Amino acid sequence: MEDARMYALRQDPPQEFAARLKERLLREDEALPARREWPLMKMAASIVAVAAISALLTVPAVRASAVAFLALFRIVNFVALEVDPGRFKALGSEEFSLKQLIGQHVQEIQDPGPATAVLSVAQAGSLAGMDVREPAWLPDGSRIIEMSVTREGLARVTADTTRLNQVMDALGITDLRAPDRLDGQVMTVRVPPVVMVRYQHGGEGARTTRLFQARSPEVTMPTGVDIAALGEIGLRIAGLPRAEARQFARVIDWNSTMILPLPPNSTSFKQVNIAGNPGIAVQYEDSSDTTMILWSSGGRVFGLVSIQEMEQALAMANSVR
Amino acid sequence: MRWITAAEPDWEAVYTEQLPRVYNFFRYRFGASVDVEDLTARTFEKAWVARHRYRRDVAAFSTWLMTIARNVAVDHLRATRRHVPLEEATAIAGGDSPEADLIRSSDAQRLASLLAVLPERERELLALKYGAGLTNRAIAAATGLSESNVGTILHRAVQGLRAQWTQGQK
């Protein structure tokens, strides 16, 4: 019997059936009550949004330098904030997408494309243009089961204050306005290559950990705007109450701080010290208890997302060399 | 912060890619004797409702979806226990009309007839392999069998089918 004959029973589902089923699924989705949980994907999207907003708003008020037309943002510190989950749900919607927030003037100069699977750490390092750091300690029975590299991404963003003000209006923020001088300013967002190594601790179906690392994303933008005022707008958009946003915006170092909004399903978070570097650890409930640790070291940012106890995740993070 | 942009799956693309896999899994699993569309729909309805529980760092999506499909298949078998697979096989292979003869002569119909008399486990693995298009590794992950065990069972099953196919041609 030829192997091809083994596929003789295969046939495409009738198109009418496929369309009918899809329609039914979408109808059922609409009928479901709104979910309280905030899965990792949603949280990640929010983190991206806030990171971008933070970065876009991260300009020193004055930078007197011959080459200081452009200010630079790099991640050094992480700060966790409990914010309004409803607001982030709104920000994740089509109406308030990041592109809308920053004026729909995003020019993608270099598309990073999908992650490329690699076969070795050396290959990952070669593709990413950096030496890949690995945990010196792993739980018993651990092994690498997946590695990938996402190439560098580069985008140019032109600010649109009119749109930003419209968004704030739509969110009910009427006591703040985007600075006029921001309008038409061009910012560049560079996301260096990201290496992901996934470990499995034990046999099939066992717990896993993903370690991400990249040189810090960089944002350059014109100087001369009131960063604290812009930061305050960003925090209000993120859902912080007026007084807290104002106070927070004044004390934070916008040049180097990544804001991490805590998801509603987070059970705990704490500032941590990873091999002498500041970081943050968040535990949240998904289908499994998950620990996420973010820290930076030597101009590089690390993220460790692990389905195991926080102690073990911290031990792994602390051993990254 | 791209490392945590584990973007939510593109459900449109997932649906387009996975629908034929599930649909054909049931075709191989039960042949023409059941409402394949109904079982496929049940699988997708369950998966759609539970999609927030899918963890890409635990299993590939196709593996997760096929686990649901297997459960739907088990429910179907329980509900129709009194219908013996052999009877189904006879029903498929039987028929006296010229039209039925014509259908039976096709490779698809012959394969369906041969699959219908296989033990449940072999038939399920063949359905996962040739219907759903899973790799042996993915089948192992979905069924809890070892990869080598999956390979051995599939090899024997295909050998057996090959022998019967040849015998039927004589």
Nearest Cα neighbor of A59 from A226, A304, A172, A272 is A226
Are B43 and A23 in contact, with CB atoms under 8 Å apart? Answer: no
Q: Do A77 and A256 form a contact (C-beta atoms < 8 A)? A: yes
**Sequence-separated contacts (24+) of B14-20 with Cβ below 8 Å:** B14/B61, B15/A22, B15/A25, B15/B44, B18/B61, B18/B62, B18/B65, B19/A13, B19/A18, B19/A21, B19/B44, B20/A10, B20/A12, B20/A13
pLDDT at A65: 24
Residue of A nearest to B154 (CA): A6
Q: What is the mean pLDDT of residues A51-70?
A: 31
Contact A193, A126 (CB under 8 A): no
Question: Which are the contacts of A167, defined by CB distance < 8 A and separation ≥ 6?
Answer: A96, A100, A101, A237
Q: What share of chain B is helix, strand, coil (3-state, %, to 5)?
A: 80, 0, 20
Query: Pick the residue with more confidence: A79 or A89?
Result: A79
- Residues A228-275: pLDDT tens digits? 677 788 888 777 778 878 877 777 777 777 777 676 677 777 888 899
User: Quick check: B5 and A48 CB within 8 A?
Assistant: yes
pLDDT of res. B87: 39
By C-alpha distance, the chain A residue nearest B141 is: A204
Read off the pLDDT band of A60 (50, 70, 90): very low
Q: Under a CB-based contact definition with an 8 Å cutoff, are residues A256 and A296 in contact?
A: no
B2 CB neighbours in chain A (<8 A) are: 48, 112, 150, 153, 191, 194, 214, 217
Query: Could you tell me which residues are beta bridge partners of residue A78?
Result: A258
* pLDDT tens-digit profile, chain B (170 residues): 222 223 345 677 788 889 999 999 999 998 877 889 999 999 998 888 777 666 554 467 788 788 889 888 888 887 775 444 433 433 333 334 444 444 445 778 888 888 888 998 999 999 999 999 998 988 887 787 888 999 999 999 999 998 888 776 65
Q: What is the pLDDT of residue A202?
A: 79
Residues in A touching B58 (Cβ below 8 Å): 205, 208, 287-288, 307
Tell me the per-residue pLDDT of A148-189, one tens digit each, with 9 for 90 and over: 998 888 888 777 788 778 778 877 888 888 888 778 877 777
ipTM associated with this complex = 0.79
Query: What mean pLDDT value characterizes chain A?
Result: 74
The domain limits of chain A are 2-29+72-318
Please judge whether B58 and A208 are an interchain contact, meaning their C-beta atoms are less than 8 angstroms apart.
yes
Q: Is A192 on the interface with B (CB under 8 A)?
A: no
Residues of B in contact with A150 (CB under 8 A): 2
Instruction: Report the gap between the CA of A132 and the closest CA in chain B (Å).
Output: 14
Partner residue facing A41 (CB), from B6, B130, B141: B6
pLDDT of residue A196: 92
Give the three-class secondary structure for A67: coil
Percent above pLDDT 70 for chain A: 70
Render A181-234 in DSSP notation, one character per residue: GGTT-EEEEEE--EEEEEEEESSTT-EEEEEEEEEPPEEEEES-S-HHHHHHHH
- Whether A12 and B4 lie within 8 Å, measured CB to CB: no
**pLDDT of res. B52:** 63
Tell me which chain A residues have a C-beta less than 8 angstroms from the C-beta of B134.
Answer: none
- Among A14-23, A169-178, A223-232, the range of highest mean pLDDT: A14-23
Q: Is A234 on the interface with B (CB under 8 A)?
A: no
Q: Are B4 and A24 a contacting pair at CB < 8 A?
A: no
Q: Are strands A77-82 and A257-262 parallel, antiparallel or unpaired?
A: parallel
> Closest to B44 (Cβ–Cβ): which among A8, A25, A112?
A25
Looking at CA atoms only, how far is residue A316 from chain B in angstroms? 17
Q: Is A170 on the interface with B (CB under 8 A)?
A: no
Place of tokens 């007084």: A243
Considering only CB atoms, which chain A residues are within 8 Å of B45?
24-25, 28
Reported confidence tier of residue A83, pLDDT bands at 50, 70, 90: low
